[in-house]
Amino acid sequence: MMENGPSWARILPAIADNDRNLDWVKERSIEYAPAEEIRLISSSTWESQRAYVAENSQFYQNKYAGIVDLKRLPLKHLPEAPFTTKAELQMAQSEEPPFGAHLAATPNTIKRIYKTSGSSGIPLMIAITQKDSATWRTIGTRSYYATGLRSHNSVLTTLGAGPFVVGHTHRVLEELQTRTIPVGPGDTASVIDAFETGLVDTMLSTPSFALYLADRFAKEGVEGQRYGLLHLIVGGEPGGGLPVIRARIESAFGATVTEVMGIGEIAPSLFGECPAQQGMHFCGQGFVWPELIDTNGMPVPIEPGAEGEIVYTHLEREAMPVIRFRSGDHATILSTDCPCSRTSFTVRISGRVDDMFIVSGVNVYPSAIQSVVGTFTPEVTGRTRVVLPPDSVSVAPPVPIEIEISPGTSTSGPLASRIADAIHARLKFRASVVLVGQKAFGTAEYKTALITRKVMRSESD
Ligand SMILES: [Zn+2]
């Protein structure tokens, strides 16, 4: 397994023997296995899982009755099974609280309970058994190890212990044997205090929080490089993979940015980007089976350049196993051939399928607009919000877009029309750009919403 290049040299000056000798590090051969071998392992794991689900999940017994013979469904015929949606799980849980009919383990084996944020509907309770927790730890250690995190690192985290599944990351860091400095979300003062001690070389946060710190450094005339951070690992929302946002964070800290991603219903840290920075590697081999589908739900081969929504099936899950779960994440496959020698595909997420909107018949993701707006830094901060009508995914041009300006930039002058022209040139639709000051979006210490729904024209005209 080759690990080289400038980012590696910066993040990984040397791999300590301690890391080589960790038990789970020795068991990472599947990350470097050929696709066919992974398919064989997954097929055999799936045979036990399908029997377990058919036996124990009332939800799938009902859902697939008369449609799919789950006990005989081979992995290669998985696309014959209907999808599972978040709305179905929410319904199952509200019908049979607290867990829902998709609970496949006995309640006394449930050892941890998280929940989703409910950003797309009501919050969903996520239950795991002891074995599920160990699976999450294995997938999570692969993902964070892929980013370059090692036991010699000193990591400041801005993740709560709960209620969200990201809290499980604390267990992953323990497994990796890093030095960890946990700070709760939104506690900027404690973050800066920790930086001041000189003990932090890595920070785990949302890209919004990293951008917020970058703005703060700019405003207060602080040289972010002086804190000596080498590496920022960002996740929890798309954005950390957008070149303009990434470049802004990297230059503010003088550090390398890599990205991680998970999904509450499946595993908290399922993807990790290696220092080659060519997208996030899928790290759930043997535990989770990924598929890509187009907007009609048809399978799309996972190969470089392919785009679609990612769909997941658990190959090993006791508490709440799902089959063909629609993630709502729209991904582009970047590579299947990385210099780090991992064989898994890498992705960049363009956004939530739910955030997609339609202008004159063309699908647009807010991240595409963010990419254009980001080229106007430092005049703008990069934070962008598309204003859509209250109950429609279609919007007629000009599309109202609110863009946050940096301190010292004027809201009058030609900036708004220059940005509107750039959006028209790149994305082929007209925008009505409204420049807003920093208070308008709040402090954005956690996540920034890319879409807001309101009647805008009557307010601004
Ligand atoms: Zn790689």
- Are residues 370 and 325 part of one domain? no
Q: What's the 146 CA to ligand 1 centre distance in angstroms?
A: 7
The pLDDT value recorded for residue 360 is 83
Q: How far is the CA of 164 from the centre of ligand 1 (A)?
A: 27
Ranked by mean pLDDT, the top range of 15-29, 347-361, 438-452 is 347-361
Q: Give the count of domains, the chain.
A: 2
Between the CA of 211 and the centroid of ligand 1 the distance, in Å, is 25
CB neighbours (10 Å) of residue 408?
9
pLDDT digits (tens, 9 = 90+) for 85-97: 999 999 999 999 9
Over the range 111-121, which residues count as b (16 or more CB within 10 Å of their CB) and which as e?
ebebbbeeeee
Residue pair 159/173 in contact (Cβ under 8 Å)? The answer is no
Same-domain pairing of 381 and 339: no
Tokens read off for 282: 């899928």
Q: 433 phi and psi, to 5 degrees?
A: -85, 130
Residues 272 and 309 grouped into a single domain? yes
Last-in-domain residue among 305, 320, 352: 352
For 125-134, 188-197, 301-310, 434-443, which range has the lowest pLDDT when averaged over its residues?
434-443
Instruction: Report which of 248, 234, 238, 160 is spatially closest to residue 204, judged by C-alpha positions.
Output: 234
Domain boundary residue, one of 321, 352, 383: 352
Q: Please give the distance, rounded to the nearest whole angstrom, from the Cα atom of residue 301 to the centre of ligand 1.
A: 20
CA 364 to ligand 1 centroid distance, Å: 29
The CA 339 to ligand 1 mean position distance, Å, reads 6
Residue 345 lies in a domain: yes
Whether residue 344 is found in the same domain as residue 400: no
Q: Is residue 13 part of a domain?
A: yes
Same domain, 433 and 456: yes
pLDDT band at 58 (very low <50, low <70, confident <90, very high): very high
Give the pLDDT of residue 13: 55
Q: How far away, in angstroms, is 287 Cα from ligand 1 center?
A: 20
Banded pLDDT at 407 (limits 50, 70, 90): confident
275 assigned to some structural domain: yes
pLDDT at 395: 86
Beta bridge partner(s), residue 179? 154
Q: Last residue of some domain: 337, 352, 367?
A: 352
Give me the pLDDT at residue 458, please. Answer: 40
Q: Give the residue carrying structure tokens 């999940």.
A: 57
Going from the Cα of 271 to the center of ligand 1, the distance in angstroms, rounded, reads 11
Instruction: Round to whole Å and give the CA distance between 320 and 314.
Output: 9
| Cα–Cα separations (whole angstroms), residue 237 to 214, 253, 399 | 17, 20, 23
pLDDT classification of 394: cutoffs 50, 70, 90: confident
Q: Is residue 163 part of a domain?
A: yes
Distance between Cα 132 and ligand 1 center (Å): 26
Of the candidates 395, 397, 373, 368, the one whose C-alpha atom is nearest the C-alpha of residue 384 is 373
Calpha distance 26→136 (Å, rounded): 17
Claim to verify: residue 293 and residue 203 sit in the same structural domain? yes
**What spacing in Å lies between the alpha carbon of 298 and ligand 1's midpoint?**
28
Same domain, 361 and 270: no
Ligand 1 centre from 444 Cα, in Å? 30
Tell me, in angstroms, the distance from the centre of ligand 1 to residue 42's CA.
21
- Give the distance (Å) from ligand 1 centre to CA of residue 249: 21
For ligand 1, the distance from its centroid to the CA atom of residue 248, given in whole angstroms, is: 22
Q: Which residue has the tokens 């990350």?
A: 31
Residue at 101 is within a domain: no
Rounded Cα distance between 183 and 152, Å, is 19
Cα 62 to averaged position of ligand 1 atoms, centre (Å) = 41
Are 196 and 253 within one domain? yes
Distance of CA 280 from the midpoint of ligand 1 (Å): 8
196 and 189 in contact (C-beta within 8 Å)?
no
* Alpha-carbon span 218 to 380, nearest angstrom: 12
Percent of the chain with pLDDT over 70: 90
- Any idea what the CATH number is for the domain that residue 24 is in? 3.40.50.12780
In the reported structure, the alpha carbon of residue 377 is separated from the centroid of ligand 1 by a whole-number distance in angstroms of: 29
- Residues whose CB falls within 8 Å of the CB of residue 458, separated by 6 or more in sequence, listed in order: none
Q: Which residues contact 199 (CB under 8 A, 6 or more apart)?
A: 154, 179, 181
Residue 8: which pLDDT band, with cuts at 50, 70 and 90? low
| Three-state DSSP class for residue 292 | strand
Residue 12 lies in a domain: yes
The tokens for 428 are 């082929």
How big is the CA angle at 172 (ends 315 and 247), to the nearest 5 degrees? 100
Please state the separation of Cα 337 from the chain's center in Å. 21
Q: How far is the CA of 107 from the centre of ligand 1 (A)?
A: 39
The reported pLDDT for the residue numbered 411 is 82
Q: Hey, what are 429's tokens?
A: 């639709």
CA distance 80 to 69: 10
Contact 103, 320 (CB under 8 A): yes
Above 80 in pLDDT, residue 10? no
Whose CA is closest to 430, among 421, 439, 438?
Answer: 421
Rounded Cα gap, residues 25 and 48, in angstroms: 26
Based on the domain organization, do 275 and 344 belong to the same domain?
yes
E-state strands within 80-201: 110-115, 125-129, 154-157, 179-182
Could you give the CA distance from residue 145 to residue 30 in angstroms, rounded to a whole number? 14
155 with 254, same domain: the answer is yes
CA atoms within 13 A on the CB side of 96: 11
The two structure tokens encoding residue 60: 């799938």
pLDDT digits (tens, 9 = 90+) for 254-312: 999 999 999 999 999 999 999 999 999 999 999 999 999 998 999 999 999 999 999 99
Split at pLDDT 50, 70, 90, the class of 1 is very low
Q: What is the rounded (10 degree) CA torsion for 45, 47, 48, 52?
A: 130
In this prediction, residues 123-129 reach a mean pLDDT of 96
> Does residue 60 form part of some domain?
no
pLDDT of 456 higher than 90: no
How many Å apart are CA 205 and CA 263, to the nearest integer? 16
Ligand 1 centroid, distance to 144 Cα (angstroms)? 12
Range 27-36 average pLDDT: 91
| CATH number for the domain harbouring residue 370 | 3.30.300.30
If you average pLDDT over every residue of the chain, what do you get?
Answer: 89
- Assess whether 253 and 395 both reside in one domain: no
What is the DSSP code string of 360-418?
Answer: TTEEE-HHHHHHHHHTTTTTEEEEEEEEE-TT-SEEPSSEEEEEEEPTT--SSSTHHHH
Q: Are residues 199 and 294 in the same domain?
A: yes
Dihedral angle, C-alpha 191, 196, 197, 198, nearest 10 °: 100
* Residue ranges making up the domain that contains 198: 6-35+131-352
Tell me, what DSSP letter sits at residue 85?
-
Distance (angstroms) between ligand 1 centre and the Cα of 281 equals 7
Q: Is residue 287, in this structure, part of any structural domain at all?
A: yes
